[in-house]
Structure formats: C-alpha cells, structure tokens
C-alpha cells in the first residue's frame, strides 16, 4: 500500500505549509477513493449510483462529487461489511453506539494503529505533554476508542502510562496522589467528578502533580476550561475524534494558543456542509463537519457526516492545517452522557422490547452537583398500570440499558396517558441542565 508509515516524514508534516498539505491531500484522497471503490462493495455501489468514479477526482474540490457516508451505512453493513482489507489483516476492532441496539464496528490494520498512535502522540505534544511524563488515562478501555487510543499514543510519545480506565473515583484520586502524573486524559465531566473526589479526600487539587489535561469525547465549554484550569492549576486542552474516522486524535488544541483544534489534515480531509442543502460552505461559516480519511487501510471512510457542528478557520500554530472551532452542538438528537453516546432510538427500542411499555416516553436530562443524569419517563400500558411490579420492571430496564448502551439511567414509570401527546414532532428530550 502507498501509505506505509514513515516516522520522520510524519513529524515533518506537522510543520508543512498549506500548499504542501493540500498537495498531499490530493494524492492521498485519490488513493483513498480508489482503495474504497475497489475493495468495498458498498462504496462501489454508491459511487456507481451517483455516476462518479475515482478517476473523476483530479483536484480537492472534486471530492464534492462523491456521495456522503452516514452512521446508518455502518449499521447496515454490520459488522465487517465496510472493511477494505481481508479480515485477517485487521489487527483491532473498536465500536461505538449506533442509533439502535447494535454498536457500529470499525477496524484498523497494523499500519492504521501505528498512524493512530502517532496522531495521539502528536496531539499530546500539542497539549503540552512530553516524553518521560507520567500519564493517567481515565478514558474507558474496551470497545470505546478513548482508553486504548490514548494509551498507545502516550506510549508512543515515550510516557509512563497508568491505564486506569473510568470509574472507582476514590482509587483514581489516591493513585493520582501517589503516582504523581503530570498529564491526565479523561472526559471533562469525569474530571469534575475527580475534583469532587479530591475535595472528599481532603486533598487540595491545586497542589496535585497534574499540569496538563487532555479532555474530549463530549462537548465542553470554555467556561468549564477556566474552572478546571483554575481549580487544578493546570492547562486544559480539547481533543476531538470519533470512532468512524479514527478515535481520539483527529484534531487537537494547542496549549500555547487554546484557540480551537487543529485538524491533522495530513490524515483527514475536513469539509463543512449545510445540513439542509448538503452543500459545502466556505471556511468560517458554521455547519456540519464532514471527514474523509486519507491514510486508513482497514476502513477508509468517504465524506462521513459527523453531525457535529463547527466551523473551519486558518491554522495558527500549525500553518498548514486548519482549525476547527470547539464543537458547539449536533445536528441530530444524540446525547452524550458522561462521555457515552446515547440515542433516543436506543431507549425507545429497549422500551418497546418490554411488554409493559407501548413506547410513550421522554428523556429528562438534569444535573446534580457536577454530574449529568438521565431519567427515562415511560408510560405503562393500561394492563400494566398497577404499580406492584414497576420496581422490578425498572430494575430490569436499568440493567439492560447499562449492559447494552453502557450508561446508568433512572427509569420513572407512570400511569397510562400521563405523557403529553405530541401534535406534530414529538418532544423526546427535555434538557433541564443549566446552560453554561
Ligand atoms: O468519543 C472518541 C474520543 C475519545 C474523542 C476520547 C476524544 C477523546 P465516539 O464514542 O465515536 O468517539 O464519539 C464521537 O463524540 O462525533 C462528538 O459528537 C463527540 N466528541 C468527541 N470529542 C469531542 C470534543 C469518541 N472534543 C462523538 N468536543 C463525536 C465535543 C466531542 N464533542
């Protein structure tokens, strides 16, 4: 394959000029389109239906002729249908929430994993981390890309990695106190839970060893950055990524400017589109972020509609790569609860699989202290309206959601006809969280 990893070239690209990056993108996009077309029947069919062929791609703007890919396409090709290499060449599988019960599946060759580790190492360097530092990784390990993605990046940078994963807050606080890591990689919301853990343990967070926090996997505001930086006396930067495209390490904020996230454009081609017209918009205009991978072998992805909203701006620290403004929201109804992606359709599917609920429900989001909570309010069918079994239904449902989606939710069962019926588009999500 043409993308065989070369460390020296990779490091040099970080400081390449805009022209150099664009020339590289043109070359790599041509390779990716051909690779996808020749090896993934799904892409061949889509391109043929749209009347385009990889040979129609001659310059960067030609990408607009090619069809988009969406989450549904990953679901429809579950589990391995989008792989562009024989399964034996896939070294690792990861997964993320789909819009229904089944996760979406992504795969990496050894070369893909190598590039990923280097992208995370590059992101960590941009965030202030250096070889030799201790890194506490509190992103979840497992199918989620956060834990292992951060882990191998930190090792690649030459750090000492503490693979904590999520949960067990008291123990996390204890080990941060004892091991004295300079760097922490965690969702911003869990960082706030760790803060509570520090206070509970009678420890002053400002005196902790932590100097650099690399936070992502969910939206967070600049106000939250200020709070975290202040209470921990640390630098906090934003890391972005998504399973379909890579995992963490697609874009990263630089510690010296904290002015949005440089997209690693040697490996990803970004576009911003208007979600209604699907037409690309100019740099500077807000819209939906779309990515095409430029080096991925196992699962190249063409024009993936992320549903994340942002806008592109010129590079600052890295002149050749554009920046993406902090993600300001999504164009769909995905909720990110404590770092886990949850779709209302997953809740609906689980409710409809019970025999006590006919599918009338609402999702209420609230915040207690620093933690976001989700309460599913669901109506019992008339024949299940006596309350004696409700607590059992509730326990089963909560366990099921924890087991399938991976988050703890509350369930509140109500009598029939107590949830307001919609006159048009139903309002499923009621967000009572304070706006910060
Ligand atoms: O969340 C990958 C990741 C792990 C990124 C660790 C950063 C750190 P998914 O589970 O597939 O992958 O979820 C991807 O999470 O489309 C965004 O909506 C949201 N997201 C990820 N990073 C950020 C961020 C990982 N920095 C989805 N700011 C994406 C806002 C983010 N939203």
Ligand 1, residues 215, 216, 264, 342: which to mutate, most atoms within 8 A of Cβ?
216
- Tell me the CA–centroid distance for residue 91 and ligand 1, in Å: 22
In the sheet where 429-431 sits, what is the strand order? 410-414, 371-380, 357-368, 429-431
DSSP characters over 87-156: GGG--EEEEE--SSSSPEEEEE-HHHHHHHHHHHHHHHHHTT--TT-EEEE-SPPSSSHHHHHHHHHHHH
- Tell me the CA–centroid distance for residue 218 and ligand 1, in Å: 5
Integer Cα distance of 77 and 40 in angstroms: 10
pLDDT in tens, 269-318: 999 999 999 999 999 999 999 999 999 999 999 999 999 999 999 999 99
User: ∠24-319-158 over CA atoms, to 5°?
Assistant: 80
Question: Is the separation of the CB atoms in 394 and 413 below 8 Å?
Answer: yes
Mind listing the pLDDT tens digit of every residue in the chain (436 residues)? 444 567 788 888 999 999 999 999 999 999 999 999 999 999 999 999 999 999 999 999 999 999 999 999 999 999 999 999 999 999 999 998 777 777 899 999 999 999 999 999 999 999 999 999 999 999 999 999 999 999 999 999 999 999 999 999 999 999 999 999 999 999 998 998 899 899 999 999 999 999 999 999 998 889 889 989 999 999 999 999 999 999 999 999 999 999 999 999 999 999 999 999 999 999 999 999 999 999 999 999 999 999 999 999 999 999 999 999 999 889 998 999 988 999 998 998 899 899 999 788 999 999 988 889 999 999 999 999 899 999 999 999 999 999 989 999 999 999 998 988 766 667 889 999 987 6
> What are the structural domains of the chain?
1-332 (3.40.50.12780), 335-431 (3.30.300.30)
The whole-number pLDDT of residue 5 equals 64
Q: What is the dihedral of CA 187, 191, 192, 196, to 10 degrees?
A: 140
Residue closest via CA to ligand 1's atom 13 equals 242
- Tell me the CA–centroid distance for residue 144 and ligand 1, in Å: 10
The whole-number pLDDT of residue 238 equals 98
- Tell me the CA–centroid distance for residue 217 and ligand 1, in Å: 3
Which ligand 1 atom is the nearest neighbour of the CA of 340? 10
Ligand 1, residues 217, 343, 372: which to mutate, most atoms within 8 A of Cβ?
217
Which ligand 1 atom is the nearest neighbour of the CA of 219? 30
- Tell me the CA–centroid distance for residue 58 and ligand 1, in Å: 32
Query: Does the CB atom of residue 235 touch ligand 1 within 6 A?
Result: no
Query: Does the CB atom of residue 289 touch ligand 1 within 6 A?
Result: no
Four-residue CA torsion sign, 262, 325, 129, 155: negative
Q: Quick one: how far is CA 258 from the chain centroid?
A: 20
Which ligand 1 atom is the nearest neighbour of the CA of 150? 6
- Tell me the CA–centroid distance for residue 365 and ligand 1, in Å: 19
Which residues, at least 6 apart from 423, have a Cβ–Cβ distance to it below 8 Å? none
- Tell me the CA–centroid distance for residue 3 and ligand 1, in Å: 25
The whole-number pLDDT of residue 162 equals 98
Question: Is the separation of the CB atoms in 24 and 16 below 8 Å?
Answer: yes
Helix/strand number for the chain, H first, E second: 11, 21
Query: Does the CB atom of residue 215 touch ligand 1 within 6 A?
Result: no
Query: Does the CB atom of residue 341 touch ligand 1 within 6 A?
Result: yes
Question: According to DSSP H, which parts of 261-355 are helical?
Answer: 344-352
- Tell me the CA–centroid distance for residue 249 and ligand 1, in Å: 10
The whole-number pLDDT of residue 1 equals 47
pLDDT in tens, 143-179: 999 999 999 999 999 999 999 999 999 999 999 999 9
Integer Cα distance of 86 and 416 in angstroms: 52
pLDDT in tens, 41-55: 999 999 999 999 999
Q: pTM value?
A: 0.91
Question: Is the separation of the CB atoms in 4 and 109 below 8 Å?
Answer: no
Which ligand 1 atom is the nearest neighbour of the CA of 334? 18
Residue closest via CA to ligand 1's atom 10 equals 96
- Tell me the CA–centroid distance for residue 146 and ligand 1, in Å: 9
């Amino acid at each position: 394959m043409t993308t065989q990893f070369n460390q020296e070239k990779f490091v040099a690209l970080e400081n390449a000029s805009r022209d150099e990056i664009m020339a590289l993108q043109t070359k790599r996009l041509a390779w990716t389109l051909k690779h996808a077309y020749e090896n993934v029947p799904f892409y061949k069919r889509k391109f043929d239906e749209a009347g385009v062929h990889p040979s129609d791609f001659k310059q960067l703007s030609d990408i607009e002729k090619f069809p988009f890919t969406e989450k549904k396409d990953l679901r429809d090709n579950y589990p391995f249908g989008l792989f562009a290499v024989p399964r034996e060449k896939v070294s690792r599988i990861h997964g993320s929430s789909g819009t229904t019960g089944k996760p979406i599946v992504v795969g990496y060759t050894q070369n893909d994993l190598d590039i990923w580790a280097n992208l995370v190492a590059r992101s960590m360097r941009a965030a202030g981390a250096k070889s030799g530092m201790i890194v506490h990784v509190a992103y979840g390990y497992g199918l989620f890309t956060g834990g292992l993605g951060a882990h191998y990046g930190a090792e690649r940078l030459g750090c000492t990695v503490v693979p904590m994963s999520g949960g067990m807050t008291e123990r996390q606080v204890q080990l941060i106190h004892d091991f004295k890591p300079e760097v922490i990689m965690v969702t911003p919301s869990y960082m706030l839970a760790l803060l509570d853990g520090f206070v509970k343990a009678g420890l002053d967070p400002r005196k902790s060893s932590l100097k650099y926090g690399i936070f992502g996997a969910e939206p967070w505001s600049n106000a939250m950055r200020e709070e975290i930086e202040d209470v921990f006396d640390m630098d906090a930067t934003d890391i972005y990524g998504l399973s379909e495209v890579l995992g963490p390490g697609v874009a990263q904020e630089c510690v010296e400017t904290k002015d949005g996230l440089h997209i690693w454009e040697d490996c990803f081609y970004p576009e911003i589109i208007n979600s209604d017209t699907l037409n690309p918009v100019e740099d500077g205009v807000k819209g939906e972020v779309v990515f095409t991978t430029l080096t991925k072998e196992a699962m190249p992805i063409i024009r993936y509609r992320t549903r994340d909203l942002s806008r592109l701006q010129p590079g600052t620290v890295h002149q050749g790569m554009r920046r993406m403004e902090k993600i300001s929201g999504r164009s769909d109804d995905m909720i990110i609860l404590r770092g886990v992606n949850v779709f209302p359709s997953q809740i609906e599917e689980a409710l409809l699989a019970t025999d006590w609920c006919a599918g009338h429900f609402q999702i209420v989001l609230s915040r207690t202290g620093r933690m976001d909570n989700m309460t599913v309010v669901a109506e019992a069918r008339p024949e299940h309206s006596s309350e004696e079994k409700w607590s059992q239904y509730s326990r089963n449902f909560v366990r099921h959601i924890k087991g399938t989606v991976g988050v703890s939710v509350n369930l509140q069962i109500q009598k029939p006809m107590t949830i307001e019926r919609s006159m048009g588009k139903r309002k499923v999500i009621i967000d009572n969280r304070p706006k910060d």
